[in-house]
Amino acid sequence: MSTPLPAAQPSSRLWQLDALRGLMLVLMTLTHVPTRLTQPMGQPFGFVSAAFGFVFISGMLVGRVHGRRLLSQGVDVVRSALVRRAGLVYLCHIGLLGLLFFILPLTGVVPEKGPLPGMMWFFQMDPWAAVLGGMALIHQPGLLDILPMYVVFLLVSPLILAALAKGYWRSVAGFTVGLWLFAQTGLAGQWYDAFVASTGFPIIRGATGAFDLLAWQLVWTTGLLGGWAMANGWTPNVGRWPAGWVIGALTFAAIGFAWRHAIGQIPFPEHEALNAWFDKWHMGPLRLLNATALLLLVLRFGPRGETAARLTRPLQFLGKASLPVFCTHAVVAMLVLGIAGDEIRDRAYLIDVAILAVTFSALFAAAWVAGRRRKPVRPAARTCASTA
């Protein structure tokens, strides 16, 4: 067993993390709300999605905030706080499901074909299984499959933080990498198919969401480990990094960026088997390397100073209210898919401009309302006020 890191003095909120999470929310919105920006802004930095950044940064914020809270107040306080947060995220998930299943069909905006009815295919096939499965976080329609994963990650985070507090960070790191490696085999999906076939369980694998939980837990846990280290006083000493690290990261990131924009978001259009190396849903190894390269570059060259802080305030504003902003983006995306559809070739440019203006007005309005509802925080507790 290794020795726990010494506890550091609480520090102020890092505006860079809020800005990065705000940027991920903007990119997800541009990807999910269909306009002429959807394709070019999908994975704009390489074969790395905004969902990756959102999950990683959220895990880091949980590790940083609740790592300090665990050190000062104990694991029970952390468990209670994260269970409450998971409950809030769960209620948001149920609300979005209710909107998709019951409210939108009453408005008449659901077309016969397209992405929106595609999100409802399982509900139309088996309404009871869809509703109960959705409530149990098993059935996850497209676009609404991030929050269920987030609920699970929040609930297991107290266990991970408690293990880190006891010095078991090597065991945590080994276990999370082992789960990711297992996810690459595809055996979990095959076992689930066998379970459905043998028991008659009504929710088939195609209705359980696109994200592979066993693969994506690596993203969350890695962020959690980084946040825990920050809570214990660690800061990346980028000035002493070996030049080879920086050159390697720049090379890999540049290749990923050029490849994505030259070929598209599918790296091997004519060789499907090779795409598994870049697979988004199972977090393929080359996608993971691409994300690692970008992370190193952000740490090395990321924004610093008062000027950068001022310029990124709109992103920080969105990032601080990530949950209401995320839910608002999902609602707007469903409405736009229902009203305007995803066919943009014959759509007037002004319509796209109007869609984006209304969309981002809604996001900033949601962030403003969330900020107004946020309770004042006592100075002594201010550093633990942020929740991911």
Q: How confident is the model at residue 54 (pLDDT cuts 50, 70, 90)?
A: very high
Domains of the chain by residue range = 15-384
pLDDT value for 388: 53
Q: How confident is the model at residue 375 (pLDDT cuts 50, 70, 90)?
A: low
pLDDT value for 12: 64
pLDDT at 382 over 50: no
pLDDT at 200 over 50: yes
Contact 232, 5 (CB under 8 A): yes
Beta-strand ranges (E) seen in 31-161 are none
pLDDT in tens, 268-304: 998 888 999 999 999 999 999 999 999 999 988 888 8
Highest average pLDDT, of 76-80, 106-110, 372-376, comes from 76-80
pLDDT value for 114: 82
Question: What letters, b where the CB count within 10 A reaches 16 and e where it falls short, cover 200-235?
Answer: eebbbeebbbebbbbbbbbbbbbbbbbbbbbbbeee
pLDDT value for 237: 74
User: Cα-Cα-Cα-Cα dihedral of 221, 225, 228, 232, to 10°?
Assistant: 170
pLDDT at 376 over 90: no
* Mean of the per-residue pLDDT values of the chain: 91
pLDDT value for 75: 94
- Please report, in angstroms and rounded to a whole number, the separation of the first and last CA atoms in the chain: 29
List CB contacts of 134: < 8 A, sequence separation 6 or more.
93, 94, 97, 101, 140, 141
> What is the DSSP code string of 314-343?
HHHHHHHTHHHHHHHHHHHHHHHHHHT-S-
Rounded average pLDDT over 65-71: 93
Q: Which of 26-35, 241-250, 355-364 has the lowest mean pLDDT?
A: 241-250
- CA 288, 151, 143, 57 torsion: positive or negative? negative
What is the distance between the alpha carbons of residues 159 and 145, in angstroms, rounded to a whole number?
23
Residue of 244 and 374 predicted with greater confidence = 244
pLDDT value for 343: 86
- List the one residue out of 260, 333, 357 whose CA is nearest residue 44: 260
